[in-house]
Amino acid sequence: MSRILITGAAGNLGKVLRASLAGKYDTLRLSDVGDMDPAGPGEEVVKCDLANARAVQALVDGCDAIIHLGGMSVENTFDVILDANIRGTYNIYEAARKQGVRRILFASSNHAIGFHTRETQLDARSEMRPDSMYGVSKGFGELLARYYFDKYGIETASVRIGSCFEKPRDRRMMATWLSFRDFAALVECVIDADRVGYSVVYGASDNAEKWWDNRLAGHIGWVPQDSSQQFSDDPAIAGAVNAPTDPAVMFQGGGFAAAGHFED
């Protein structure tokens, strides 16, 4: 793997990977529709709208693997989700097929399974229960990745990212938190693994409260090192009082599951 493409490179997680992967591969090709810092050593910076199929074809040319973070990262109107997450992800996979890229990390989301209750432990075989149109778009991306693997042999790790921030922001995130270090290590495992196949991986650190079981992705070799427990005394967490019948508490998707339709 000599040239790695990172879409969504201007976003928070894109910036984390840009720093953590620097110098580990020959070239990082960084892409976003937004502004990015100028290219440094071993970097290429390419501005690209993922809804533009022709531009995506050129973007993917010469790449060995793709870390697909690009798109809308929260709930929005269907038209925005359609272009950013559905059409954009299709364009990535179709470009990968035509350009011979054999491995992709697709940034899926816990919101693809957000209507499971908190007491239901999930693994890679659990059914999708999206909690939003955003979650629906991530479910589409997972199915698309499954199709491109079965039909064309393009390997994908669909990573259902929990809550990847510097630290948990509330009680729910004590279960869903993914540290920046663990996320970067997961990305490296996916790039460097002998074989990925089609795999679903839950992106959460080694937290005390566990909703997700990653044993079916054990062949990737990722073992998270961090835990949200270090933040358990934070007043915003220790002092929180949550009603067990509140939809934001009942369901794994939290506030996404509790929210009404975005366009109403």
Residue 5, number of CB atoms within 10 A of its CB: 29
Q: What does the pLDDT profile of the chain (264 residues) look like in tens digits?
A: 799 999 999 999 999 999 999 999 999 999 999 999 999 999 999 999 999 999 999 999 999 999 999 999 999 999 999 999 999 999 999 999 999 999 999 999 999 999 999 999 999 999 999 999 999 999 999 999 999 999 999 999 999 999 999 999 999 999 999 999 999 999 999 999 999 999 999 999 999 999 999 999 999 999 999 999 999 999 989 988 889 999 999 999 999 999 988 875
- Please report, for the chain, the start and end positions of each structural domain, with discontinuous segments joined by +: 3-258
How far from chain centre, in Å, is Cα 104? 11
Homologous superfamily (CATH) for 3-258: NAD(P)-binding Rossmann-like Domain (3.40.50.720)
Q: Which residues are catalytic?
A: 134
By the 8 A CB rule, do 72 and 53 touch?
Answer: no
Nearest to 85 by CA among 59, 102, 58, 108: 108
